[in-house]
């Protein structure tokens, strides 16, 4: 028998906030204490808001809200390192051929957790999945709930079955812990594709091509959708039209560049990232932030060096090197898509070779799901859109009131007019929701 597991990397669209009550329900995993206190936001700062404990999640109150788990009650294991190592393997295989590579480490982890929940107890697959993720499947579900607890991110899971029966205990387990409802395919992937399109608000269409293979048992699907406004908007009137972006192949393409000069957390050179420059841009209530990373030189070798360093470095350490400076930022607007592509071999390279063997060894790796089930393929698809829109109007720059003798240093100029990395982090856990390499716009 075959077991096909599908990862939907997610749709990330930056614009207006999600309406209240939009999107799929959150997984029913444990609850923690609700943050209390007054939320103090300095709209001219990229610093986290005050009035909350640093390990708690900022959660807007409103109809239908559920209590978010506390950061202190949830471990992220080694999920961040796993996601960045997986992204590095994808870039090695791609070698800059794609206009963009986009991965959601959280969506991949959530889909692997669905698989982990059905691994044969004390078997090789269970041990390896737990080692690579650093968490049990229920703990991954708790992380997913923590990271998507606000109104700007949504996570959803599902299992799509064929005529072959699954273990009733498994179906019940993934429904109760991961919120994954079982649905029928009935000879076509259209029910799966329609579900994915719905929960990604139309961003990901036609994930799977018909027909399902004859030996298919089921498809496991994890989706992450993110939509948030910038905390500080780019003024559309400042956008430079028809600028030049130099692609990974060395050709020049036209691009519109958003521009803003303001105090930001940035660094012109981070040694642990191979000398790359980086800048932090925050979203909404600062539950999430984007990091743009520009390699120290153009060309594939510099990008590969930066990605390799990113996979090896501890985000908590190199993020501390971003200091508050005046930045003249110039970055392109873009819409990027990746997939549907297989990442099966990439997962084997990061340590899942026993859990995802190249041939069906008949070893009963996932007897909790179905006898003799094994993984036939792992697929991902993702989109990423970045523009000026969607933040509360506020001063784009903060100028300190000083005496006449003050001579300010010129701003740090960061121009992203060649291939760069774009990462979205959850602030409280420093877990990457998305990692992207933008080779062309």
Instruction: Tell me how far apart the alpha carbons of residues 261 and 238 are, in angstroms, rounded to a whole number.
Output: 10
Question: What is the CATH code for 236-333+397-438?
Answer: 2.30.39.10
What spatial distance separates the first Cα and last Cα of the chain, rounded to whole Å? 42
What is residue 50's predicted lDDT score, i.e. its pLDDT? 34
Report the pLDDT value the prediction gives residue 127, as an integer from 0 to 100.
94
pLDDT of residue 13: 32
Percent of the chain with pLDDT over 70: 77
Task: Evaluate whether 2-32+75-228+336-385 and 236-333+397-438 have a shared fold.
Answer: no
Asked whether the predicted pLDDT for residue 140 surpasses 60, the reply is: yes
| Per-residue model confidence (pLDDT) at position 21 | 36
In SS3 terms, 147-208 reads as HCCCCCEEEEEEEEECCCCCCHHHHHHHHHHHCCEEEECCCCCHHHHHHHHHHCCCCCCCCC
In the chain, what are the domain boundaries? 2-32+75-228+336-385, 236-333+397-438
List the single range of 62-71, 73-82, 167-176, 355-364 with lowest mean pLDDT: 62-71
pLDDT (tens digit per residue) in 299-347 = 899 999 999 999 999 888 899 999 999 999 999 988 888 878 888 899 9
Which residue is listed with tokens 């059905």?
118
Q: How far apart are CA 298 and CA 246, in angstroms?
A: 9
pTM for the model? 0.82
Cα(237)–Cα(247) distance, integer angstroms: 25
Evaluated on CA atoms 414, 417, 423, 427, the torsion sign reads positive
For 365-397, letters b (16+ CB in 10 Å) and e give bbbbbbebbbbbebbbbbbbbbbbbbbeeeebe
Query: Whole-angstrom Cα distance, residue 112 to residue 382?
Result: 17
Closest CA to 214 of 160, 164, 171, 165: 164
Give, for 349, the enclosing helix (H) or strand (E).
none
Q: Does domain 2-32+75-228+336-385 have CATH number 1.25.40.10?
A: no
d(CA 202, CA 198): 6
Residue 270 has what DSSP assignment?
Answer: E
Average pLDDT over residues 269-289: 90
Instruction: Give DSSP secondary structure letters for 68-124.
Output: PPPGGG---TTHHHHHHHHHHHHHHHHTT-SSEEEE-HHHHHHHHHHHHTTSPTTSH
Average pLDDT over residues 369-384: 81
Q: pLDDT per residue over 23-34, tens digit each?
A: 333 333 333 333
Q: Work out the number of other CB atoms within 10 angstroms of the CB of residue 175.
A: 17
Q: From the CB of residue 198, how many other CB atoms can be counted at a distance below 10 Å?
A: 13
**Pairwise CA distance, residues 261 & 397, whole Å:** 6
């Amino acid at each position: 028998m075959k077991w096909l597991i599908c990862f939907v990397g997610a749709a990330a669209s930056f614009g207006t906030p999600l309406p209240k009550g939009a999107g799929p329900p959150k997984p029913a995993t444990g609850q923690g204490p609700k943050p209390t206190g007054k939320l103090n936001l300095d709209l001219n700062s990229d610093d986290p808001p005050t009035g909350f404990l640093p390990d708690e999640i900022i959660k807007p109150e409103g109809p239908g809200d559920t209590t978010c788990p506390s950061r202190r009650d949830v471990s992220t294991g080694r999920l961040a390192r796993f996601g960045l190592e997986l992204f590095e393997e994808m870039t090695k295989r791609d070698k800059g051929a794609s206009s963009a590579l986009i991965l959601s480490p959280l969506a991949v982890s959530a889909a692997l957790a669905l698989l982990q929940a059905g691994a044969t107890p004390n078997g090789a697959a269970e041990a390896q999945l737990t080692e690579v993720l650093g968490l049990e499947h229920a703990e991954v579900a708790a992380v997913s709930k923590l990271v998507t607890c606000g109104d700007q991110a949504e996570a959803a899971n599902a299992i799509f079955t064929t005529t072959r029966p699954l273990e009733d205990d498994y179906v019940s387990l993934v429904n109760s812990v991961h919120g994954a409802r079982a649905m029928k395919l009935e000879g076509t992937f259209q029910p799966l594709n329609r579900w994915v399109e719905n929960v990604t608000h139309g961003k990901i269409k036609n994930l799977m091509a018909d027909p399902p293979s004859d030996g298919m048992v089921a498809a496991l699907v994890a989706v992450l959708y993110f939509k948030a406004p910038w905390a500080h908007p780019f003024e559309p009137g400042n956008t430079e039209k028809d600028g030049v972006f130099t692609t990974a192949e060395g050709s020049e393409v036209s691009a519109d560049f958003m521009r803003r000069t303001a105090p930001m957390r940035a660094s012109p050179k981070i040694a642990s990232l191979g000398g790359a420059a980086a800048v932090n841009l925050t979203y909404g209530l600062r539950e999430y932030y984007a990091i743009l990373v520009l390699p120290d030189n153009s060309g594939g070798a510099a990008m590969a060096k930066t990605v390799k360093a990113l996979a090896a470095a501890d985000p908590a350490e190199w993020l501390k090197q971003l200091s508050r400076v005046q930045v003249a930022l110039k970055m392109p607007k873009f819409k990027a898509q990746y997939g549907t592509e297989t990442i099966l071999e990439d997962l084997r390279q990061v340590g899942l070779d026993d859990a995802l063997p190249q041939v069906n060894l008949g070893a009963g790796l996932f007897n909790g799901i179905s006898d003799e089930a094994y993984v036939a393929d792992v697929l991902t698809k993702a989109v990423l859109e970045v523009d000026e829109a969607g933040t509360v109007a506020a001063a784009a720059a903060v100028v300190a009131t000083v005496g006449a003798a003050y001579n300010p240093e010129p701003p740090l100029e960061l121009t992203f007019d060649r291939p760069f990395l774009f990462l979205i982090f959850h602030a409280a856990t420093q877990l990457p929701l998305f990692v992207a390499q933008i080779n062309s716009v």
